[in-house]
Amino acid sequence: MSAPERSRASPSSLAELVELMPHRIYDVIVIGTGAGGGMAIKTLCEAGLKVCALNSGRRLDPHKDFRSHRMPWDLKYRGFGDPQTHSASEPDFPGPSEYVHGAWETEHVHTTAPGTDWVWPRCSAVGGKTNFWGRSSAIFGDIDFRAASLDGYDVDWPVTYAEMAPYYRRVEQMVGVASTVQNRPSNPDGIYLPPMNFRCLDMILQKGAEKVGVPYLPDRISQLTVPLGTHPACHYCGNCTSGCDVGAFFSAPYFLLPAAEASGNLELRTNALARNIVVDESGQAQGVAYIDRQSRREFEVYGRAIVIAASCLETTRIMLNSKSRHWPTGIANSSGQLGRNLCDHLYGIAASGYLPQLVGQPSFPDNVSDSSIAWMPRWQNLLHPREEKFIRGYSVYPDGGCWEFPSYQDEIEGFGSSFKREIKRRYPAPISMMTQIPTLTSPQNFVDIDPQAVDSYGVPTLRVHFQWGANELAMWEHSKTMCGEVMRAAGGIVDFVADHPESPGYSQHEIGTCRMGNDPRKFVTNRFGQTHDVANLYVADASLFVNVTDKPPAFSILTFSLRTSEHIVQQFRDHTH
Amino acid sequence: MAGQNIERREILRILAVAAAAAGFPGFQKWAFAGAHSHSSLAQIKPTAYRPVFFREQEYALVERLTDIIIPSDETPGAREAGVSEFIDLMASRDTSLQNRFRAGLMWLNNHSRKRRGKLFLALAAEEQVALLEPLAYKAKYRAGEERGRDFFDLIREYTVMGFYTTEIGLKELDFPGLRFYSESPACPHQNDPEHRHLPSPNW
């Protein structure tokens, strides 16, 4: 399919006439409205800069689009989705569901190199994945920023914890994080709201973990256990990842965009699919070419600076597709590193089973945050970076108890009244442990543009090259042993251990394709997320990150974006932009 | 606190949404199974369900199998919850599922005729159970019945899906979610962290 024609040829609508008028030049164009884009939009607008934000999907109306409070029988397919549209080959594919309609994309805009398995859930709604995220919010420390100095693999980040700490503290206060001070060497502490309470299963597993010598602690979770400013406290209904109708956990539409809109400095264009960065005669960024998804026509919008935060892989795709005389292999890619160093979290069920102590007990509201209340933060390679058979470390999210659906039914034999009774008896007892294992960078793991494929808008698609490496697979084996030990030490029965981890991409934590670093020959951006080659082009999502750590990325995306955005404001004050 | 008013407003809204959703066409028993204390729903009269995908004979067999898998005993079972209607709907939307169900039902009837000389539905209840047990319990597996075991797993899975997503099914489990709590629910056995001294199981 060929690219849509330029709208300029024959104006037939008001929108096109507006395009024909002398160009308005905004201070900053921001691509994306999720954690990175949302924070940039808020910070820039509040500083008085005129911002045009491009978002590839629509705005959501929480009261219409989030069906999180519906019982399964109130959904036509009971929450399993229409079998006709639900991909049978990817039954656990995170994203589209009956509970959230029309927020997740269904088209695949990537291909995979032979031997690569990669899933890429994409949320195009305003606010992006922050609408539905897991809210786990541990922060990076020097054990992460200086990992290369400790174990000799790869490179350090161009920042230190001391430098980032003040930004982390400000984001904690803006967002509200429930947790406790834990004094863990791999987990810097912050400023916290009261923690979520431990449930029976947490109390039991914590005792087991203690016996094995593994930490079992309240997670850091961006969920309001008490009201924060105008945001109400959580009501613990438990369907968070289908969207919150009262905004009791952090998401960009509830926490960042209202302030930007109130400033009068934001113009948000929805259904605007950024295609490429437009450059001027000197190769500097001049604007963004985007496709209006409703009319399928292409428009351009101009700014003095551009922040790109479309999510790691989409950001990379836009940059690789921004080819010009100046940038023949993609914008700001003189280092050749754009698209390289793709890292991901290996997710997998390291052990699952049940706690016999809880069999036959009354049901209990265990699922009040739709993910982990507790976690087992990295405990490996802390005293010495090479204590284990692998370098770095991983974390584990334990969970279980009374959820909506008795998915442990596979573990119970038979049928009839005894089967029905056993399903009921087991209901409070299931537990499972999900790993969060960082991959190391590898020359084999990268993305490029597929020369032979375009998406339904005619935009060249990304091609993913990715394999799990030996280090992460060694951690996966280790996690299976350790999680089994913790469960058994707690008196639990292990009845399932996954043969394979989830597919790469499943975690939605991909990072690293526009890495930050001081050397322009080796890194795409500098320590502020500003591209080395194009001074007025900034990156503000997880593609900047140097390694993937054992922590989830969203909270750090917010923090790095805050710092980058304030750097941009300073450049405007200094008249650099 | 700002959050205190949520409860009533939300519950009213959910009831409204649920009432509207229960109006999907063709689900007499679902509406019945999910009946809220809402006047318009109370007036819905269950009428004979007309299957969308299954033939009448197949549908009767599906209904009987769901009834055997999750029976009505001290509490309502798959039949009251209209599980066969759910299976019919899911199958009607997925051709590969249609083939698996149709071939499986056919296998079961052939198997029944071969071993007992009658179609499955013509057998006495205890004969039906005796025919299914070798498909459901590892210790009773018989060679040559692999396809039957696969089919039994399939229909059991869909019966569980269809049952525990109705109000009847979630009431059976005393599903505690999608309610409203003023603080995050805490373990009530703080002085027994290992939970070694819990009261004897309820069931």
* Whether B151 contacts chain A with CB within 8 A: no
Element (H, E) at A166: helix A161-175
Q: How far apart are CA A59 and CA A69, in angstroms?
A: 20
Confidence of residue B19 (pLDDT cuts 50, 70, 90): very low
Residue, of B38 and A211, whose pLDDT is higher? A211
* Whether B126 contacts chain A with CB within 8 A: no
Question: Chain B: nearest CA to A407, how far in angstroms?
Answer: 9
Average the pLDDT over A161-178 and give the result. Answer: 98
Q: Map tokens 């399964």 to a residue.
A: A72
Chain B residue with CA closest to A210: the answer is B194
The percentage of chain B sitting over the pLDDT mark of 70, rounded to a whole number, equals 77
**Chain A residues touching B198 at Cβ < 8 A:** 357-358, 361
Instruction: Please give the CATH topology (third level) of the domain spanning A1-59+126-133+251-335+510-577.
Output: FAD/NAD(P)-binding domain (3.50.50)
Q: What is the pLDDT of residue A7?
A: 42
* Whether B137 contacts chain A with CB within 8 A: yes
Q: Look at B189 and A200 and tell me if their CB atoms are within 8 Å.
A: yes
Average the pLDDT over A142-148 and give the result. Answer: 97
Q: Look at B203 and A225 and tell me if their CB atoms are within 8 Å.
A: no
Query: How large is the ipTM?
Result: 0.85
* Whether A245 contacts chain B with CB within 8 A: yes
**Chain A residues touching B172 at Cβ < 8 A:** 420, 424
Average the pLDDT over A475-488 and give the result. Answer: 98
Which of A70, A71, A223 to mutate: most B Cβ within 10 Å? A71
Task: Calculate the CA dihedral of residues A44, A46, A47, A50 and round it to 10 degrees.
Answer: 60
* Whether B48 contacts chain A with CB within 8 A: no
Closest partner CB to A419 (pick from B6, B69, B190): B69
Q: Look at B194 and A402 and tell me if their CB atoms are within 8 Å.
A: no
Q: Look at A69 and B175 and tell me if their CB atoms are within 8 Å.
A: no
**Residue from A561, A447, A421, A431 nearest A486 by CA:** A431
Q: Look at A364 and B157 and tell me if their CB atoms are within 8 Å.
A: no
Q: What is the pLDDT of residue A325?
A: 96
Closest partner CB to A237 (pick from B77, B178, B203): B178
**Residue from A490, A211, A206 nearest A355 by CA:** A490
Q: How far apart are CA A347 and CA A112, in angstroms?
A: 19
**In the predicted model, what is the mean pLDDT of chain A?**
93
Q: What is the pLDDT of residue B38?
A: 40
Q: How far apart are CA A402 and CA A426, in angstroms?
A: 9
Q: Map tokens 């960024």 to a residue.
A: A285
Q: What is the pLDDT of residues A219-260, one digit of tens each?
A: 999 999 999 999 999 999 998 988 999 999 999 999 999 999
**Burial tier of A30 (Cβ tally within 10 Å: 0-12, 13-18, 19+):** buried
3 state SS of A322: coil
Q: What is the pLDDT of residues A453-473, one digit of tens each?
A: 999 999 999 999 999 999 999
Name residues whose C-beta falls within 8 Å of residue A349's C-beta, 6 or more positions apart in sequence: A432, A433, A434, A496, A497, A498
Q: What is the pLDDT of residue A15?
A: 63
Element (H, E) at A269: strand A266-269
Q: Residue A159 pLDDT > 80, yes or no?
A: yes
Q: What is the pLDDT of residue B46?
A: 54
**Chain B residues touching A360 at Cβ < 8 A:** 200-203
Record the pTM. 0.90
Q: What is the pLDDT of residues A516-562, one digit of tens each?
A: 999 999 999 999 999 999 999 999 999 999 999 999 999 999 999 99
Residue, of A436 and A404, whose pLDDT is higher? A436
Closest partner CB to A415 (pick from B69, B194, B195): B69
Which amino acid does the sequence have at A437?
I
Confidence of residue A64 (pLDDT cuts 50, 70, 90): confident
* Chain A, window 349-368: residues with a beta carbon less than 8 angstroms from a chain B beta carbon: 355, 357-368
Confidence of residue A370 (pLDDT cuts 50, 70, 90): confident
Closest partner CB to A357 (pick from B30, B70, B195): B195
Q: What is the pLDDT of residue A360?
A: 96
* Whether B52 contacts chain A with CB within 8 A: no
Q: What is the pLDDT of residue B184?
A: 92
3 state SS of A203: helix
Low-confidence winner among A23-37, A404-418, A525-539, B61-75 (lowest mean pLDDT)? A404-418
* Whether B70 contacts chain A with CB within 8 A: yes
**Chain A residues touching B69 at Cβ < 8 A:** 415-416, 419
* Chain B, window 80-119: residues with a beta carbon less than 8 angstroms from a chain A beta carbon: 86, 89-90, 93-94, 96-97
Chain B residue with CA closest to A491: the answer is B194
Closest partner CB to B94 (pick from A84, A206, A421): A84
Please give, one letter per residue, the 3-state secondary structure of chain B.
Answer: CHHHHHHHHHHHHHHHHHHHHCCCCCCHHHHHHCCCCCHHHHCCCCCCCCCCCCCHHHHHHHHHHHHHHCCCCCCCCCCCCCHHHHHHHHHHCCHHHHHHHHHHHHHHHHHHHHHHCCCHHHCCHHHHHHHHHHHHCHHHCCCCCHHHHHHHHHHHHHHHHHHCCCHHHHHHHCCCCCCCCCCCCCCCCCCCCCCCCCCCCCC
Q: What is the pLDDT of residue A96?
A: 57
Q: Look at B162 and A82 and tell me if their CB atoms are within 8 Å.
A: no
Average the pLDDT over A162-170 and give the result. Answer: 98
**In the predicted model, what is the mean pLDDT of chain B?**
82
* Whether A573 contacts chain B with CB within 8 A: no
* Chain A, window 71-90: residues with a beta carbon less than 8 angstroms from a chain B beta carbon: 71-80, 82-84, 88
Q: What is the pLDDT of residue A8?
A: 45
Low-confidence winner among A68-72, A261-265, A378-382, B95-99 (lowest mean pLDDT)? A68-72
**Burial tier of A521 (Cβ tally within 10 Å: 0-12, 13-18, 19+):** exposed
Chain A residue with CA closest to B88: the answer is A77
Question: Chain A: nearest CA to B118, how far in angstroms?
Answer: 22
Closest partner CB to B3 (pick from A233, A368, A419): A233
Q: What is the pLDDT of residues A331-369, one digit of tens each?
A: 999 999 999 999 999 999 999 999 999 999 999 999 988
Low-confidence winner among A435-449, A500-514, B41-55, B93-107 (lowest mean pLDDT)? B41-55
Q: Find out whether A385 and B195 touch, Cβ atoms under 8 Å.
A: no
Query: Two tokens at A91?
Result: 């039954």
Task: For A445-466, give one letter per residue: b (16+ CB within 10 A) or e.
Answer: bbbbbbeeeebebebbbbbbbb
Q: What is the pLDDT of residues B109-166, one digit of tens each?
A: 999 999 999 999 999 999 999 999 999 999 999 999 999 999 999 999 999 999 999 9
Q: Phi and psi (nearest 5°) for B65?
A: -65, -40
Confidence of residue A17 (pLDDT cuts 50, 70, 90): low
Q: Residue B6 pLDDT > 50, yes or no?
A: no
